[in-house]
Chain A
Amino acid sequence: MKHHKRKRYKVISVVSLIMFFVIWQIYAVLNAKMGWINEAFLPAPTEVLVTFQKFFEEGTLFDHIGISMIRILKGFFVGSIVGVVVGYIMAKLPVFESILQPVINILGAIPPYAFMPLLIIWFGVGEFAKIVMIVLATFIPVLASTIQGVKSIDPLHIRSARTLGCNELQLFHHVIVKTSLPYIMAGMKTSISLCFSALVVAEMIGSDTGLGFIIVDGRNWFKVANMFMAMTSIAILQTVFQTILTMIERKLFKWKKEGLSSAIE
Chain B
Amino acid sequence: MLEVKGIRKSFASSEVQVLKDITFTIETGEFVCLLGKSGCGKSTLLDLLAGYTKPDGGELILNGKEIKGPGIDRGLVFQEHALYPWYTVYQNISFGPKIQKKANYMELADEYLDMIGMKKYKDYYPDSLSGGMKQRVGIARALAAEPDVLLMDEPFSALDPSTRVKLRDDLVEIWKKTTKTIIFVTHSVPEAVYLADRVIAMKDGTIQFNEKINIERKRDMNDPRFVDYVNRIEAFISNRKKKEEKLVVTND
A170-B98 Cα distance, complex, nearest whole Å: 11
Query: CB-defined interface of B66-90 with A at 8 Å, one 1/0 digit per residue?
Result: 0001111011101010101111100
Which segment of A32-40, A67-75, A158-166, A210-218 sits at the interface?
A: A158-166
In the complex, are the beta carbons of B128 and A259 less than 8 A apart?
Answer: yes
Say yes or no: A262-B76 contact (C-beta < 8 A), given A159-B50, A159-B52.
Answer: no
A159-B84 Cα distance, complex, nearest whole Å: 12
A216-B147 Cα distance, complex, nearest whole Å: 69
In the complex, are the beta carbons of B82 and A162 less than 8 A apart?
Answer: no
A157-B82 Cα distance, complex, nearest whole Å: 6
A154-B84 Cα distance, complex, nearest whole Å: 10
Say yes or no: A258-B84 contact (C-beta < 8 A), given A163-B75, A165-B99, A165-B100.
Answer: no
Beyond A156-B80, A159-B76, 7 extra complex contacts between A and B, CB < 8 Å: A156-B82, A157-B82, A162-B52, A162-B70, A164-B99, A174-B99, A255-B127
In the complex, are the beta carbons of A164 and B127 less than 8 A apart?
Answer: no
A254-B86 Cα distance, complex, nearest whole Å: 8
A239-B78 Cα distance, complex, nearest whole Å: 44
In the complex, are the beta carbons of A164 and B141 less than 8 A apart?
Answer: yes
9 interchain residue pairs of minimum CB distance: A259-B127, A164-B96, A156-B82, A162-B70, A262-B128, A255-B125, A165-B100, A165-B72, A178-B86
Say yes or no: A157-B84 contact (C-beta < 8 A), given A165-B100, A259-B127.
Answer: yes
In the complex, are the beta carbons of B86 and A163 less than 8 A apart?
Answer: no
Nearest neighbor of A265 in chain B, beta-carbon distance: B128
Query: CB-defined interface of A170-198 with B at 8 Å, one 1/0 digit per residue?
Result: 10001100100000000000000000000
Nearest neighbor of B99 in chain A, beta-carbon distance: A165
* CB-based A-B contact count at 8 angstroms: 74
Query: Min CB distance, A241 to chain B, in Å?
Result: 25
For residue B18, CB closer than 8 A to chain A, the reply is no
For residue B95, CB closer than 8 A to chain A, the reply is yes
A178-B86 Cα distance, complex, nearest whole Å: 7
A259-B82 Cα distance, complex, nearest whole Å: 15
Residues of A within 8 A of B128 (CB): 258-259, 262-263
For residue B145, CB closer than 8 A to chain A, the reply is yes
Secondary structure at the B interface, as helix, strand, loop or mixed, is loop
Residue in contact with A164 in the complex, picked from B52, B72, B78, CB distance below 8 Å: B72
Secondary structure at the A interface, as helix, strand, loop or mixed, is helix
Q: A residues bordering B, Cβ < 8 Å? A: 154, 156-157, 159-160, 162-166, 170, 174-175, 178, 253-256, 258-260, 262-263
Residue in contact with B78 in the complex, picked from A156, A162, A262, A263, CB distance below 8 Å: A156
In the complex, are the beta carbons of A160 and B72 less than 8 A apart?
Answer: no
In the complex, are the beta carbons of B84 and A163 less than 8 A apart?
Answer: no
A131-B50 Cα distance, complex, nearest whole Å: 50
Residues of B within 8 A of A262 (CB): 127-128
Residue in contact with A258 in the complex, picked from B52, B82, B125, CB distance below 8 Å: B125
Query: Min CB distance, A150 to chain B, in Å?
Result: 15
Q: Which of B108-163 contact A (CB under 8 A)?
A: 124-128, 141-142, 145, 147
A178-B125 Cα distance, complex, nearest whole Å: 14
In the complex, are the beta carbons of B84 and A170 less than 8 A apart?
Answer: no
A102-B50 Cα distance, complex, nearest whole Å: 39
Residues of B within 8 A of A174 (CB): 84, 95, 99
A156-B141 Cα distance, complex, nearest whole Å: 14
Residues of A within 8 A of B99 (CB): 164-166, 170, 174
Query: Min CB distance, A175 to chain B, in Å?
Result: 7
A260-B87 Cα distance, complex, nearest whole Å: 15
Residues of B within 8 A of A260 (CB): 127
